[in-house]
Structure 1
Amino acid sequence: MKLIIVAFALVAAAVALPVENVPREIKTLRSVFEQTPVGGYLLSFETENGISRQEEGELKEVFDEEKKPHSVVTVRGSYSFPDLDGKPIVVNYYADESGYHPEGDSIPKATSRR
């Protein structure tokens, strides 16, 4: 019986939540994706809440430790979104065989230790 009362109380509390707490769908204002014939791509999008991204990928041949060739996709782009105060946070990045490399005012800079 106690379990039924607790379950009923939880359902009643959930139903009593204000409607504005329900997330709404964010519309995409612009979206582009193009694939190039040689294995690269271009993509970009922008949403109504201030989120955007632009990226370009390119096929590149690299050599491993044994001097064997491998194809990798190198990527260069940026994304932005508003912070809690509405100011845009912008991150520029590139990614290649050496890893992901982001840059921006919101990303802490590495300090050298002596």
Structure 2
Amino acid sequence: MFIVALALVAVVAAAPVEEPEPIVRSDFEQSPEGSYTYSFETQKGIVRQEEGQVKEALDEENKPHNVVVVRGSYSYPGEDGKPVSITYFADETGFHAEGDSIPKPARR
């Protein structure tokens, strides 16, 4: 059993460690009421930007409460070198994303 444990430790120790992607630009700003903007870009071309705005919405019982409405996008180089882009928003109705790489539901 001890030999098996040593072999397992040796395999884990020999596994390559991926270095984190170097970030070449990063910005973040937040307001006291909860709104924010956020963006970054990596050396290999991964780009993300997002903003959140506080909005009053009604819950299931029609009581007002604050939610953060988020809008953003991200892109990264695809396997063919062409950029893959996704835009999204999230609010009290859920998360919604669009992009050519996201499968579309079949139409009937």
Q: 1:58 matched to which residue of 2?
A: 53
Partner deviation per Cα, 1:35-87 (whole Å, 9 max, x = no partner): 02331000000010111100000001001232100111000000011112221
Matched, 1:107 2:63: no
Change (3 A) 1:29 1:68: same
- Percent identical: 55
Tell me how far apart the structure 2 counterparts of residues 93 and 80 of structure 1 sit (CA, whole Å): 12
Tell me how far apart the structure 1 counterparts of residues 36 and 53 of structure 2 sit (CA, whole Å): 7
Question: Aligned-pair distance for 1:23?
Answer: 2.3
Tell me how far apart the structure 2 counterparts of residues 67 and 4 of structure 1 sit (CA, whole Å): 64
Tell me how far apart the structure 2 counterparts of residues 29 and 84 of structure 1 sit (CA, whole Å): 22
Q: How does 1:61-80 map to 2 (within 5 A)?
A: 61-80=56-75
**Which structure's CA Rg is the greater one?**
1
Structure 2: 5+ residue stretches without partners = none
Tell me how far apart the structure 1 counterparts of residues 70 and 91 of structure 2 sit (CA, whole Å): 6
Aligned residues: 107
Tell me how far apart the structure 2 counterparts of residues 69 and 11 of structure 1 sit (CA, whole Å): 57
TM-score w.r.t. the length of structure 1 is 0.78
Q: How does 1:6-45 map to 2 (within 5 A)?
A: 7=6, 11=10, 22-45=17-40
Residue identity matched to 2:99: G
Equivalent residue in structure 1 for 2:85, among 80, 84, 90: 90
Structure 1: 5+ residue stretches without partners = none
Tell me how far apart the structure 2 counterparts of residues 4 and 72 of structure 1 sit (CA, whole Å): 55
